[in-house]
Amino acid sequence: MARGKRRANKNTARPSRAVNYSQLTHPFIPQSVLTEDAVAGVHDAALRVLEELGIKILLPEAREIFVRSGALVDDDTQMVRIGRDLVAAALSTAPRSFTYKGADPVRDQDYALGSLIFAPGGGCPNVTDSIRGRRAGSAETFIETTKLQQSFDVIHILGPSAEPQDIPVHERHLFMMQQQCMLSDKPVSQASRGRAQIQDGFEVLRLARGLDEDAFGENVWAKTIINTNSPRMIDNPMAEGIIDFARAGQLSIITPFCLAGAMAPITVAGALTLQHAETLAGITLAQMTCAGAPVSYGGFSSNVDMKSGSPAFGTPEHVKLMIGTGQMARHVGMPWRGAAGSAGVVADMQSAGENHMALWGAMQANATLVLHAAGWLEGGLTFGYEKFINDVEALQVLAELAHPIPQTDDDIGFDAIAAAEPGGHFFDNPHTMSRFQTAFYDPLNADLNNHGGFVAAGARDATMRATDIWQERLRDFQAPTICEPVKDRTQVFIDRRIQEGGATVVG
């Protein structure tokens, strides 16, 4: 409601163009980099990795769950070998779709193969913008970036972005969950940094959403990203995250970060094999913990730059790995997350190009959830405000592509063509007049003026215009309405937990 009003105010000269960027499905046929034989080969090799080589699971509780379900566990070496029958059993109970819920049902996302969900650049320790420069993330920038994420419908879930490093770590998780719930009505995210923090986050979320434990468990309200320690290891906080999210009916997204040539084989096919093995291990642990728990296949593989050793994004290898990840996820029938993002340090042609390449990789791959889709610079070390705005433009263009074009006989337009003189124009054609106010995408940051108009407007490039936009959005921001008792009871809980000493960080 508040959003609709702001949009109308901004464009008083013409009726606002109705768009639906909130719930999207993929418009394109998924593409392939692996042959069907190679898909089967990668799947089989991954099962052999789990069965013959095993995966190191540091958390005793997780090893016990594996033992109880029939895996072969060596507590001395912490190695767990998982038979392919156990993997198959897990895949048979893992749900293929579920609703990932926001505070407002218009924000709900259908998490399933075929859905297209965009998440902003997440987990960044630093932020940068043209006014204040590059600096450590803080409470202020966490609030700002959450507001910006709330401000654009095409950002479907919250990051969270811009880690608030000025808040002590033992209470930071409380602040992050509180701000997500108070500033936004979109589905929230939570880090897995130990059991106590996870449970705190769940409680803040329940209080803010007005849910008891049962109602909370009936739907997915929070997700966490589980990064395996590639190759072939899952550490304590990650295993605890899988277990606790499964028990609470919340979503864990199993995502090896397989940098080809570093923590994974250097070949695309080999990195996919290791990633597939580790993802299946995580999915299996979730299902062994609680059959039917929501869990997602995940991939975030790219290559390392052989000169600098830095992770690369938007490269051919990144795109190929994403398309291959989609093939492997579809092979086991699971919805999955991919990731876009940029290696570039500043808001320039490089970082724009890298994210566009990676976003199109996600489109080719039919990724269910595209993480780091806006604002992610330096391979995630920094959240860029201007970059975020320009990336939102890219997401809006992709969202437009997700909707079918009108193609009735009237749209095909023989009569409209007949009504235009040879060498004439269509400006005053009734076919045009009835559609011109809403026919085309209305750019957010792009300036379509010619050179003269561009210079007359101060020769402000895309970065300068993006600065105007994020400043304007923060100035005009209106949080969703949340009633006072909800705010109060959430605050009371948080105050109490801080008084109790908060929660130790693990991992």
Residues 204-243 binding its own copies (CB under 8 A) are 229, 231-233
18 contacts its own copies (rule: CB under 8 A): no
Q: Applying CB under 8 A, does 260 fall inside the site for its own copies? A: yes
314: contact with its own copies by CB under 8 A: yes
Cβ atoms of 473 and 151 closer than 8 Å: yes
Cα separation of 467 and 474, whole Å?
A: 11
Task: Give the number of other CB atoms < 10 A from CB of residue 190.
Answer: 27
What single DSSP character describes residue 378?
G
Which one of 67-75, 331-339, 348-356, 488-496 is the stretch in contact with its own copies (CB under 8 A)? 348-356
**144 vs 393, which CB is nearer to its own copies?**
393
Q: What is the C-alpha separation between 227 and 298, in angstroms, rounded? A: 9
d(CA 89, CA 85): 6
Please give the Cα distance from 264 to 276 (Å, whole number). Answer: 11
Stretch that binds its own copies, among 2-10, 328-336, 340-348, 469-477 (CB under 8 A): 340-348
When asked if residue 483 is in the footprint of its own copies (CB under 8 A), the reply is no
d(CA 273, CA 130): 42
For 307, the token pair is: 């000169």
Query: How many residues belong to the site for its own copies (CB under 8 A)?
Result: 125
Site for its own copies in 27-66 (CB under 8 A): 27-29, 31, 33-35, 38, 41-42, 45, 48-49, 52-53, 55-56
> Is residue 15 at the binding interface for its own copies, with CB under 8 A as the rule?
no
| Cβ neighbourhood burial of 212 (10 Å; 0-12, 13-18, 19+) | exposed
364 lines the binding site for its own copies (CB under 8 A): yes
Rounded to the nearest whole angstrom, what is the least distance from the CB of residue 453 to its own copies in the complex?
A: 6
Smallest distance from its own copies to CB 408, Å: 8
Question: Residue 165 interacts with its own copies (CB under 8 A)?
Answer: no
Kindly tell me which of 284 and 382 has the beta carbon lying closer to its own copies. Answer: 382
Least Cβ distance, residue 426 to its own copies (angstroms): 6
DSSP H or E stretch at residue 224: strand 222-226
Which residues, numbered 77-96, are part of the site for its own copies (CB under 8 A)?
79
Nearest to 188 by CA among 306, 104, 301: 104
3-state secondary structure 416-459: HHHCCCCCCCCCCCHHHHCCCCCCCCCCCCCCCCCHHHHHHCCC
For its own copies, the binding residues in 408-447 under the rule CB under 8 A are 409, 411-414, 416-418, 420-427, 429, 431-432, 435-437, 439-441, 443, 445-447
The contact mask relative to its own copies for 98-137 (x = CB under 8 A, - = no) is ------------------------------------x---
The reply on whether position 149 binds its own copies by CB under 8 A is: no
- Specify the 3-state DSSP secondary structure of 197: helix
Looking at residue 12, what DSSP letter applies?
T
CB 185 within 8 A of CB 480: yes
Q: Which is nearer to its own copies, 27 or 95 (CB)?
A: 27
Least separation in angstroms between residue 153's CB and its own copies is 15
Would you say 79 or 474 has its CB closer to its own copies?
79
Q: What is the CA radius of gyration of the chain?
A: 24
- Residue 332's DSSP bridge partners are none
Closest separation in Å from C-beta 375 to its own copies: 12
Q: How far is the CB of 482 from its own copies (least distance, A)?
A: 35
Of 174-182, 200-208, 353-361, 483-491, the window that binds its own copies (rule: CB under 8 A) is: 353-361
Asked if residue 316 binds its own copies (CB under 8 A), the reply is yes
Interface positions, 261-280, toward its own copies (CB under 8 A) = 261-270, 273-274, 277
Q: How far apart are CA 254 and CA 396, in angstroms?
A: 27
Q: Give the interface segment with its own copies, choosing from 149-157, 195-203, 317-325, 486-494 (CB under 8 A).
A: 317-325
Does 198 sit near its own copies (CB under 8 A)?
no
* Tokens of residue 173, six digits: 């998780």
DSSP string, 157-196: S----S--TTS-HHHHHHHHHHHHHHH--S-EE-----HH
